[in-house]
Amino acid sequence: MARWPTMTTSPAPARRALPDAPLLVAARGGSPAHVPVWFMRQAGRSLPEYRQLREGVPMLSACFDPEMLAEITIQPVRRHGVDAAILFSDIVVPLHAAGVDIDIVAGTGPVVANPVRSRSDVDALPELDPEQVRPVTDGVRLLVEQLGTTPLIGFAGAPFTLASYLIEGGPSKNHERTKALMHSEPELWHALAGALARITLTFLRAQLDAGVDAVQLFDSWAGALSARDYREFVLPHSAAVLSGVADYGVPRIHFGVGTAELLGDMRDAGADVVGVDWRLPLDEAVRRLTVPGGAAPVVQGNLDPALLFASWPVIEAEVRRIVAEGRAAGGHIFNLGHGVLPDTDPDVLTRVVELVHSL
């Protein structure tokens, strides 16, 4: 039987009052002063100031340096005028903090020294103590002091994506070992996914206790699954994470890549805002997410990040189209359909923000 952290019923900690922040207003289905915009991976390699700061510093070292992660997080707010900061982190940060032998290898991504393949491997997974991510939460507290009225979004990887990295040993195109284990040893799969859900939940609650204003659960690889497999093997564990932070009363964003056929299930996992990649028009996503008799859904997205390399007239037309399609929703947070690509011209991102704010 899965073991879940004991949750108190004490009031959520005091956090900044940001009643007019466009991102938070839109996320709750209200009418913001303008369409809010932020970009996944806005804090990163597209910015020269980031590259200068990170020179010679390994990724995980940067993620555990409070001053550095705070500076990196705030850089795109300072440069672009986006409506939210997203905590500079990585989905493997809580695993690394808990003691899993995992590293981020340049040009490859997360690499696991001892992949998880057996019951003994699952039983050996550590729990996460909030103290193990104290440098991250110290960085959050610095950001809360510095961001003024700009919301800060907390961040974590979803159990399925974390499990795939652990089982495959690193990034995978086909997730063959993951799917094989999932179907051939479902009890073992659920034990693993449950353990990872507990780690993720502890990490998100630590960020929330430090003052983040919203959270995003990022399921990078969920689009590799059929809807049936998602509902059986993934949804219960993502739902455990999202329900576990419900008592904080902050918007919960859920995003995955290639998940057009899973949007309704991702909503059912407990998302207040469903992120949509570039493959599906937002008005069609709204149609798929709408529940008869329910409130109009809130969506996030969904400019193709590759189109930021096109000419400005092309980009402008796409931005205008997406904003128009987003008006079908109960709320729309403009974003990319995935993360900012490393070679993106940061001046283009700034122009996109200005355009979205003008529409």
| Positions marked active-site | 41, 45, 54, 90, 165
Cβ-Cβ contacts under 8 Å for 134 (sequence gap 6 or more):
none
Which amino acid makes up residue 211?
G
Closest CA to 231 of 186, 183, 265, 184: 265
Cβ-Cβ contacts under 8 Å for 1 (sequence gap 6 or more):
none
Sign of CA dihedral 109, 113, 117, 120: negative
Phi, psi dihedrals of residue 202, rounded to the nearest 5°: -60, -40
Cα gap 343→359, rounded to integer Å: 27
Quote the longest CA-to-CA distance of the chain.
56
Cα gap 295→26, rounded to integer Å: 13
Looking at the DSSP bridge assignments, the partners of residue 214 are: 153
3-state secondary structure of 302: strand
Tokens linked to 225: 């699954």
CB 151 within 8 A of CB 74: no
Cα gap 332→310, rounded to integer Å: 24
Rounded to the nearest 10 degrees, how much is the dihedral formed by the CA atoms of 206, 208, 212, 215? 100
Q: How far apart are the first and last CA of the chain?
A: 51
CB 84 within 8 A of CB 153: yes
CB 182 within 8 A of CB 168: no
3-state secondary structure of 310: coil
- Which of the 8 DSSP states describes residue 332? E
CB 164 within 8 A of CB 219: no
